[in-house]
Amino acid sequence: MTTVDLVALRDHLRPVGAALREHALAIDADPAALQVLLDSGALPYRQLGGFPPGYLDDPLRVRGVPVHVRTCVERVVVAEALAWGDASVVVGAPGPSMSGVVLDDLADDEQRDRFYRRVAQPGTWTFFGLTEPDRGSDAAALETAVVEADGAPVLRGHKKYVGNVARASLGVVFARHRPGPLGVGVYLVDTDRPGFDAAPLVTTGMRAVQLGEVRLRDVPLLAQDTLGRHLSPSRRGLLGAVRTFNRLRPVVASLAVGVTQAALDYVRAERSSFTADERWRLETFDDRLHAARALVLQAARAADADAADGTLPAAAKATALDLAEEVTHAVPALLGPGARWEHPYLDKLVRDVPGLEMMEGTRTVQRLTLAQGWLQGRARHAELV
């Protein structure tokens, strides 16, 4: 459990969130403009990336205390503060990202050191290759496979909607090496290998993430690429995906909380007065946002305590996304019929929310997970959804 002063951490990051907002529209228009923000030094992305101690000489310090942003609780506080400025940059910045979470679970010491030493270099992106064009993120139905070519193992398949893949230096690929539930492996792959062909996609929201697709045309695999090679088959593969998603769903929920707060703050900054009915509606949104934030923090603590139980993380994501969608669709009406045209930042918030919906499973998936947890007696707070 974290010992970091979370209020102090949130306050420390307010100027960073404001800097992200200043760059948000330029990055939305051209994702390459993210480099301008990175070069400015306003976003300490390496210090916020979640590196283990020992891989950064200058970790983030809050009131003199080093904060490595390794726990889910710390990650949700950071994500919400930065999403108030631009949620897409939180996911699109260089660093360990999702790959780092699965590495922490599955890698041996040699693999972990290989990964973090590489990613600690400034401007190094990573990717998380699970989703496929025909199978989505259903890890049990993957078509990407490890096959033999000229007597050596290679990766063959197609991944799509993968964040940062076109600019990443390395990342993880989920692929099937044999039939059955234990037949999915996770592989640490460098993108400069022959046969690794990645390109960005055009999206309407979350543009800093630069979602892309990658075709794996007999990409060579080495023995040291297999994550969890020191673990039993039941503790690697699909289990790695499940635990990673459970740790990251509260983070996605916190991004939605940050976007919701940004929308409410924006409309109050743009209008000097409201009718009694409008004030009541905004105050109701405030109350629901406060409850959602509390649920997200509770879910993060649950994920830190037991990453195998996804009940509260699922509840947090479903609740936060419901609210973000409702608020971002309601707020433009308070600024007039042309609000999204006249207020491009507000329009960006509306477009970013569907991108958050697709991260770590849609709300339908979350409610199925929550229902399963309820039936198994784990969802003590399911009434919040």
Residue 117 lies in a domain: no
Domain that holds residue 161: 124-225
Identify the pLDDT of residue 361: 74
Same-domain pairing of 278 and 368: yes
Identify the pLDDT of residue 1: 44
Residue 241 lies in a domain: yes
Same-domain pairing of 250 and 368: yes
Same-domain pairing of 138 and 201: yes
Residue 116 lies in a domain: no
Task: Give the ranges where 271-343 is alpha helix by DSSP (H).
Answer: 276-305, 311-330, 339-342
* Number of compact structural domains in the chain: 3
C-alpha 377/C-alpha 273 separation (Å) is: 47
Residue 285 lies in a domain: yes
Same-domain pairing of 205 and 314: no
**Which of 75, 348, 329 lies closest to 208 in space, CA to CA?**
348
Q: How far is CA 192 from CA 98, 103, 310, in A?
A: 20, 20, 35
* Boundary-marking domain end, from 43, 72, 105: 105
Residue 114 lies in a domain: no
Same-domain pairing of 159 and 50: no
Residue 353 lies in a domain: yes
Same-domain pairing of 271 and 332: yes
* Boundary-marking domain end, from 105, 137, 154: 105
Identify the pLDDT of residue 372: 78
Identify the pLDDT of residue 359: 83
Task: Copy the structure tokens of residue 13.
Answer: 């990051």
Same-domain pairing of 368 and 245: yes
Sequential pLDDT tens for the chain (385 residues): 446 899 999 999 999 999 999 999 999 999 999 999 999 999 999 999 999 999 999 999 999 999 999 999 999 999 999 999 999 999 999 999 999 999 999 999 999 999 999 999 999 999 999 999 987 777 678 899 999 999 999 999 999 999 999 999 999 999 999 887 788 999 999 999 999 999 999 999 999 999 999 999 999 999 999 998 888 777 777 776 788 889 999 999 999 999 999 999 999 999 989 999 999 999 999 999 999 999 999 999 999 999 888 899 999 999 999 999 999 999 999 999 999 999 999 999 999 999 998 887 777 777 887 887 777 777 654 444 4
pTM: 0.93
Identify the pLDDT of residue 376: 76
Residue 379 lies in a domain: no
* Boundary-marking domain end, from 186, 203, 225: 225
Residue 166 lies in a domain: yes
C-alpha 339/C-alpha 356 separation (Å) is: 22
Same-domain pairing of 150 and 244: no
Model confidence pLDDT, tens digit, residues 261-312: 999 999 999 998 999 999 999 999 999 999 999 999 999 999 999 988 889 9
Same-domain pairing of 86 and 139: no
Identify the pLDDT of residue 385: 42
> For the domain that residue 336 is a member of, what is the CATH number?
1.20.140.10
Instruction: Name the residue type at position 48.
Output: L
Residue 288 makes CB contacts below 8 A (sequence gap 6+) with 323
Phi-psi region of 160 (alpha: psi -120 to 50; beta: other; left: phi over 0): beta
Identify the pLDDT of residue 261: 98
Same-domain pairing of 364 and 242: yes
